[in-house]
A and B are shown apart, each in its own frame.
Chain A
């Protein structure tokens, strides 16, 4: 498959345009995961540890939001960030930051829902000990999040996988602008529409390889950490 080879040759030869695309993909998706974690982990922990009216409904909603269609999120963020939309004055549409926002919206429910489950399970195990230690609410949350850190890495990876794989949201809010908002997935969509299927497949293989590499890294870090901390 010579054309597929050509995508790898681009990688091996360090083609700057391809490198920029890969880098933007990683920057956008990792930033989205970071922002989503900053929101999703506290939110998930809060729902796990708090009783409030409608909690069951909130859990069902959160779990359902894990399956948000990217194209719907993309459209909603597009309408919000458009010059004619409520946040138009920020001038963010068709920029990497708009893509980060859209993917954050996609990923935050995933991280929050998985965090909620993880923290709730751990809380069942720790509740008596932490109560006996007279730990306040903040101390409890901190202890649970820290002790759930290895499971939370899995939640982050699930979020990253979702972000790295989606094209529906970022192609709408990013515009797939060459050299500016073109990522691996939007480039694949573009090459497919240009009928260059072998190059699209080659890019897809590169994307999958990167996702596997990141998961392997995180897994190794998790295993090493677990050996030390159980």
Chain B
């Protein structure tokens, strides 16, 4: 009992110490971002450089784009770094963001089993591929979590002329989870799934999955970053947050992004200078 008491006291003391250090560590910001930027390892690559330059700790909460924007709306993050331009523009229009900066893009890829039941492997036409999947009733895993990838997927179905809310059958599985979980599900059930290339490249549990469709311009995936509006939420650390944004779009930050590679393959393409992106 004495031992236990002592251990509990040590734990309590340690928790106070952590709490204390959290207060002391005031030079930090919370960035609500997407699972794709986190799971692909991009943040692990660029954040140490930013920290070395500015001394600012960036705490990344990785969520789907929809949830990340909500986190910003609630004032629980200082910066949001997501990939769903229409949703980002809505966020700005509602007054929750200050200004949107384009940062980089990567692309989506349609992943599917080697056996390719829909017969679409090697195609560069995502719209035709989705139509074939629907026509053949081949298994398809959808994020179903309002993330940027999910929104991109819904948009592609619309372009393909499929009203997915109405036309979906047992072949269409909405899992309501992140990119990794969707890939795990697709891997386990040999289904097609739309993924961002970064997460796919760093994903380890591929099983029989390969890239079925890539290279279509409509698979383009733009990332943007915004400071949460301090007028809505006075707790936002606007100077530190703006420093992070400024660095991301600076030549240093853009180079750091371009330099991130997995197996020699570049994952993200900086395009901060493209004001229309």
Q: Of the candidates B9, B180, B206, which one forms a contact with A192 in the assembled complex, judged by CB atoms under 8 Å apart? A: B180
User: How many A residues are at the interface, by size bracket?
Assistant: 35 or more
Contact yes or no, B206 A195, CB < 8 A: yes
With a cutoff of 8 Å between Cβ atoms, the chain A residues found around residue B124 in the complex are: none
Contact yes or no, A94 B30, CB < 8 A: yes
**A-B interface, 6 closest residue pairs, ranked by CB to CB distance from nearest:** A193-B180, A83-B75, A195-B205, A30-B11, A175-B61, A31-B15
With a cutoff of 8 Å between Cβ atoms, the chain A residues found around residue B57 in the complex are: 180
Please choose the segment from B162-170, B181-189, B217-225, B248-256 that sits at the chain A interface, where 4 or more of its residues have CB less than 8 A away.
Answer: B181-189
Name A152-205 residues within 8 Å CB distance of B.
153, 156, 175-178, 180-181, 190, 192-197
Name A37-92 residues within 8 Å CB distance of B.
37, 82-85, 88-89, 91
Name B18's closest neighbour in chain A (CB-CB): A96
Name A26's closest neighbour in chain B (CB-CB): B11
**Residue B202 interfacial (CB < 8 Å):** yes
**Residue B1 interfacial (CB < 8 Å):** yes
Contact yes or no, A82 B76, CB < 8 A: yes
Min C-beta distance of A188 to chain B, whole Å: 12
Contact yes or no, B204 A94, CB < 8 A: no
**Residue B107 interfacial (CB < 8 Å):** no
**Residue B178 interfacial (CB < 8 Å):** yes
Min C-beta distance of B187 to chain A, whole Å: 7
**Residue A28 interfacial (CB < 8 Å):** yes
Contact yes or no, A217 B3, CB < 8 A: yes
Q: Tell me the interface secondary structure of chain A in the complex.
A: helix
Name B1-33 residues within 8 Å CB distance of A.
1-4, 7-9, 11-12, 14-15, 18-19, 22, 30
* Per-position 1/0 for B171-215, Cβ under 8 A of A: 000000111110110010000000000010011111000000000
Name B177's closest neighbour in chain A (CB-CB): A193
Chain B contact residue count (CB 8 A cutoff): 44
Contact yes or no, B59 A94, CB < 8 A: yes
**Residue B74 interfacial (CB < 8 Å):** yes
Contact yes or no, A30 B7, CB < 8 A: yes
Also in contact, A93 and B76, with CB within 8 A (given A177-B59, A192-B184, A194-B203): yes
**Residue A139 interfacial (CB < 8 Å):** no
Residue picked from A27, A91, A178, A193, most chain B C-beta under 10 Å: A193
With a cutoff of 8 Å between Cβ atoms, the chain A residues found around residue B104 in the complex are: none
Residue picked from A24, A30, A33, A218, most chain B C-beta under 10 Å: A30
**Residue B60 interfacial (CB < 8 Å):** yes
Q: How far is the CA of A218 from the CA of B203 in the complex (A)?
A: 40
Q: How far is the CA of A85 from the CA of B76 in the complex (A)?
A: 10
Q: A residues within 8 Å of B by Cβ? A: 23-24, 26-28, 30-31, 33-34, 37, 82-85, 88-89, 91, 93-97, 100, 149-150, 153, 156, 175-178, 180-181, 190, 192-197, 217-218, 221-222, 225
Q: Of the candidates A82, A97, A197, A217, which one forms a contact with B15 in the assembled complex, judged by CB atoms under 8 Å apart? A: A97
Min C-beta distance of A118 to chain B, whole Å: 15
Q: Of the candidates A30, A177, A181, A195, which one forms a contact with B204 in the assembled complex, judged by CB atoms under 8 Å apart? A: A195
Contact yes or no, B19 A153, CB < 8 A: no
With a cutoff of 8 Å between Cβ atoms, the chain B residues found around residue A194 in the complex are: 39, 180, 199, 202-204
**Residue B37 interfacial (CB < 8 Å):** no
Q: How far is the CA of A87 from the CA of B189 in the complex (A)?
A: 44
With a cutoff of 8 Å between Cβ atoms, the chain B residues found around residue A221 in the complex are: 1-4
Q: Of the candidates B30, B44, B75, B199, which one forms a contact with A84 in the assembled complex, judged by CB atoms under 8 Å apart? A: B75
Contact yes or no, A91 B235, CB < 8 A: yes
With a cutoff of 8 Å between Cβ atoms, the chain A residues found around residue B61 in the complex are: 94, 175-177
Min C-beta distance of A222 to chain B, whole Å: 8
Name B31's closest neighbour in chain A (CB-CB): A177
9 other contacts beyond A82-B75, A225-B1, with CB at 8 A cut-off?
A27-B11, A30-B8, A30-B15, A94-B30, A150-B1, A176-B61, A178-B44, A195-B206, A196-B205
Q: Of the candidates A26, A95, A193, A217, which one forms a contact with B184 in the assembled complex, judged by CB atoms under 8 Å apart? A: A193
Contact yes or no, A153 B14, CB < 8 A: no
**Residue B35 interfacial (CB < 8 Å):** yes
With a cutoff of 8 Å between Cβ atoms, the chain A residues found around residue B15 in the complex are: 27-28, 30-31, 96-97, 100
Contact yes or no, A197 B59, CB < 8 A: no
Q: Of the candidates A31, A37, A153, A181, which one forms a contact with B1 in the assembled complex, judged by CB atoms under 8 Å apart? A: A153
With a cutoff of 8 Å between Cβ atoms, the chain B residues found around residue A190 in the complex are: 39, 180
Contact yes or no, B74 A193, CB < 8 A: no
Contact yes or no, A156 B4, CB < 8 A: yes
Contact yes or no, B18 A195, CB < 8 A: no
**Residue B233 interfacial (CB < 8 Å):** yes
Can you list 19 A-B pairs, Cβ within 8 angstroms, ordered by A? A24-B18, A26-B11, A27-B15, A30-B8, A30-B11, A31-B15, A84-B74, A84-B233, A88-B75, A88-B235, A89-B235, A96-B19, A97-B15, A175-B59, A177-B60, A178-B44, A190-B180, A193-B181, A196-B205
